Structure 1
Amino acid sequence: MNKKKVVVGMSGGVDSSVAALLLKEQGFEVIGVTMQIWDSSDPCRTSREGGCCGQSAVEDARRVAGVLDIPYYVMDFREPFRKKVMDYFVEEYLGGRTPNPCIACNRYVKWESLLEKSMDLGADYIATGHYARIEKLANGRFTIRNSAAAAKDQTYALYNLTQFQLAHTLMPVGGYRKEEIRTLARRAGLPVADKPDSQEICFIPDGDYAAFIDREAGDRVPGAGRFVDAGGRELGTSRGITHYTVGQRRHLNLSLGHPVFVTEIRPETNEVVVGENDEVFSDTLRCAGLNFMAIDDLRGFCDAVGKIRYSHRGAPCRITRTGEDEITAVFFERVRAVTPGQAAVFYDGERILCGGTIIRDRK
């Protein structure tokens, strides 16, 4: 009987390395692949340690593949990463929104592009080291379920995967806690067993988003603008909309005698609206760009738990279809900093029902 073939996306970290280990132990024919998404002409980016974009990722992944005795390749994904992740990131900030590049990368690079190339190689599946579990429900649909590692759960960033992608994906580390993954790596002699997790956005290792946008967008960057209150009264000069996000309090450099928070960003006028803490809270959001998982559509309404950012614990809400590509969520208690551009992901218990991208309120 022929073994099922799986291509494992290996970032050089411990999670994807153990994913490859587990799948080999389960009897799969495993091929390791690192996705080249960096510009090799940039010595700073390619030499930095620890991130998924650096040359060190290739070196670490290749060493792990050697220990596991599996084939290993580097595939060029620079074009889709540039278009679907980096360009998207810039355009969202210019539009007054706060993007989530990891969600875009997951859908369009780590899955869409990698899965296409992997199937060309005759693979049955791709696999990653994400802390999440894929489940096929009684209704025949695939969904993503919370991982066993609550603190590491990555389901929020995976809500946008399609049914086809889920049907051809394995996530073998989703049933383990982080410390268990490191233990498995040590026992197998993997050289990345104690490698620290990467935290930053891979293409902005210094964390200076605005400087990156300045370089990429050039003369399209709006430059200095105005701080205003909700009524439009000018309160001061801002550095421009690309420097701010909803809910932000620090680095506003406003001397108003009390703390204020960003409540809205207006790209049409390059204005940053600030207000009191209470004004950052809302009980309603609208989202578009919908993707359905556990259900094939939303008819009428249903109750769910909604997460409005990666670090949000989730809050009970009622979701209703309010447009051809729109869901409105009403939370039973107000939530802080509903941010256009971020994802709203809705759960039924541990399982993802659906999700979309938060859009601006109608004025």
Structure 2
Amino acid sequence: MRVVAAMSGGVDSAVAAARAKEAGHDVTGVHLALSRNPASYRSGARGCCTIEDSNDARRAADVIGIPFYVWDLSDRFHEDVVEDFMSEYAEGRTPNPCLRCNEKIKFAAVLDRALALGFDAVATGHYATLREDADGLVELHRAVDAGKDQSYVLGVLDQDQLRHSLFPLGDTPKPQVREEAARRGLLVADKPDSHDICFVADGDNAGWLREKLGDRAPNESGPIVDESGEVLGEHQGTYAYTIGQRKGLRLGKPAPDGKPRFVLDIEPVSATVTVGPREHLAVDGLSGIRPRWAGRPPEGVLEGTVQLRAHGDEHRARVTVVPDGAEIELLDPAYGIAPGQAAVIYHGTRVVGSVTISATRRVALA
């Protein structure tokens, strides 16, 4: 096959490209230029939007012995990922930009361009595995290395995208990938993994949002209240808070029981942030919209699990498909779950699909 290897400049994508070539594919390395101004996003080894990363990817391609190109997708990335991130936070929701990037950029814009150029598939360094079932459907499964499994952020891929995807690292623990990179002479063998959101320069989401939203920033200040409505403090923008947040509330009045308070609700229209005890964060039901099914949508009630964060726990669940989404009953309550997050649905190790959480149902307290 003719394969585009998406090379971020890190160790995982470099080894994935090398393995794709070793498997006999005709491989071309491609680095995605996602920032209009690379210096304005990240520096060093924390992200995947820097000049250093582009140079690291080029050097790796030279060692592997494959052609290398840079594709400028900065405008598409800004519109589909960065703008979406800003607007979701402005509306009091908590988005996951990595899922949006996979959905809109790496396995949509990149795959569309690759297919148009005559390539057959896109290979990435994600930790996940693909299998074909008895009916010929391509299934997405968790990786062997549970600590590095990235099937959650791939839960937005549909059947057509999976048919044109390769994940060469899914059967290998991360330490072995680093050892292999060193054996292959790849200088990125010891490069640290990227963390946080690639386009937030210092990991300070609130500060970045305040700067980038500018005049569009809604509700620059407002009250922080308890569940009775008593004002406990003042915030400097609802977009700086997420459901379940504990740190940085700077409340002037302690709770009567002395326990920490957590963000329970964010209301952008009234500029109100509500806080309360952790037990009031417990959720046992979710409503999801914008479904993305990896294969056929489940029929009836699916007894499976859901994952609600990129490296979060699995929760036993009953999933019922409804028009334009799904209703999810959590048999294991979850805490700090917010609209805008993704619920990725599993049956065993197989990804069934995902929905964007539109509403949550709190556990009824006695």
1:256 matches 2:254:
yes
CA contact (8 A) 2:47 2:194 kept: yes
Q: How does 1:11-30 map to 2 (within 5 A)?
A: 11-30=8-27
Alignment-mate amino acid for residue 260 of structure 1: R
Please report how far the alpha carbon of residue 47 of structure 1 lies from its aligned counterpart in structure 2 after TM superposition: 5.3
Q: Is 1:284 aligned to 2:281, yes or no?
A: no
Distance 1:183 1:123 in 2: 30
Sequence identity of aligned pairs in percent?
A: 39
Aligned-partner SS, 1:341: coil
* Counterpart-to-counterpart distance in 2, 1:155 and 1:86: 22
Cα distance in 2, alignment partners of residues 157 and 246 from structure 1: 20
Given that residues 209 and 240 in structure 2 are in contact (C-alpha distance below 8 angstroms), is that contact kept between their aligned partners in structure 1?
no
Structure 2 contact 284–331 (Cα < 8 Å) conserved: yes
C-alpha distance in structure 2 between counterparts of 1:39 and 1:175, whole Å: 35
> Residue 5 of structure 2 contacts residue 16 of structure 2 at CA under 8 Å; is this kept in 1?
yes
Give the equivalent residue in structure 1 for 2:36: 39
Tell me the secondary structure at the aligned position of residue 185 of structure 2: coil
Cα offset, 1:361, TM superposition:
4.1
After TM superposition, where is structure 1 displaced by more than 6 Å over at least 4 residues in a row? none
CA contact (8 A) 1:290 1:357 kept: yes
Kindly indicate whether residue 223 of structure 2 is the aligned counterpart of residue 226 of structure 1: yes
**Which of residues 76, 82, 86 in structure 1 aligns to 2:82?**
86
- Tell me the SS of whatever aligns to 1:150: coil
Distance 1:203 1:50 in 2: 10
Deviations 1:244-271 (A, max 9, x none): 1111111101122431111111122111
Say whether the 8 Å CA contact 2:5–2:27 is kept in structure 1: yes
User: Paired residue for 2:327?
Assistant: 328
Q: What is the identity, as a one-letter code, of the residue corresponding to 1:306? A: V
Match in the other structure for 1:72: 68
Letter in 2 for 1:256: P
What SS is found at the alignment partner of 2:69? strand
Match of 2:48 in 1: 52
The residue that corresponds to 2:204 in the other structure is: 208
**Any unmatched runs of 5+ in structure 2?**
none
Equivalent AA in structure 1 for residue 163 of structure 2:
A
Between 1:170-179 and 1:333-342, the stretch displaced more is 333-342
Task: Look up the match of 2:272.
Answer: 271
Aligned to 1:303: 303
RMSD: 1.6
CA drift at 1:21:
0.7
Gap change, CA 1:361 and 1:193, over 3 Å in 2: closer
Corresponding residue for residue 240 of structure 2: 243
Work out the CA distance in 2 between the residues paired with 1:297 and 1:49: 39
Which whole-Å deviations, capped at 9, do the CAs of 1:175-234 have from their partners, x for residues lacking one? 100011111111111111111111121110301112222222222212011112334343
Q: Which amino acid aligns with 2:284?
A: D
Contact 2:130 2:140 in 1 (8 A): yes
Whichever residue aligns with residue 286 of structure 1, its letter is: S
Q: Does structure 2 retain, via aligned residues, the 8 Å contact 1:283–1:335?
A: yes
Residue 140 of structure 1 aligns to a residue in which SS? coil
Q: For the residues of structure 2 that align with 1:350 and 1:46, how far apart are their CA atoms?
A: 34
Q: How many aligned positions are there?
A: 357
**Cα distance, 1:46–1:347 mapped onto 2, change above 3 Å:** closer
Query: Higher mean Cα deviation, 203-212 or 51-60?
Result: 203-212
Q: TM-score, normalised by structure 2?
A: 0.93
Q: Does 1:153 align with 2:154?
A: no
**Alpha-carbon displacement from aligned partner over 1:64-120 (angstroms, at most 9, x marks no partner):** 111111100000001110011000000000010011000000111111111111112
> Structure 1 length normalisation: TM-score?
0.94
My pick for the range that moved more, 16-25 or 200-209, is 200-209
Describe the SS at the equivalent of 2:4: strand
Q: What amino acid maps onto 1:307 in structure 2?
A: Q
Gaps of at least 5 residues in structure 1 are: none
Q: Which residue of 1 aligns with 2:346?
A: 347
Q: Which range moves more in the overlay, 306-315 or 233-242?
A: 233-242
| Aligned-partner Cα distance in 2 for 1:50–1:320 | 39
Partner Cα distance (1:262, 1:249) in 2:
7
TM-superposed deviation, 1:274: 0.8
Does 2:83 align with 1:114?
no
1:358 equivalent in structure 2: 357
Secondary structure of the 1:143 match is strand
Q: Distance in 1 between matches of 2:337 and 2:138?
A: 28
In structure 2, distance between residues paired with 1:135 and 1:186: 29
Query: What is the SS of the residue equivalent to 1:290?
Result: strand
Conserved? CA contact 1:141–1:293, under 8 Å: no
Q: CA deviation at 1:156?
A: 0.4
Any idea what SS the aligned residue of 1:152 has? coil
Does structure 2 retain, via aligned residues, the 8 Å contact 1:98–1:341? yes
Match of 2:129 among 111, 124, 133: 133
Q: Which amino acid aligns with 1:291?
A: R
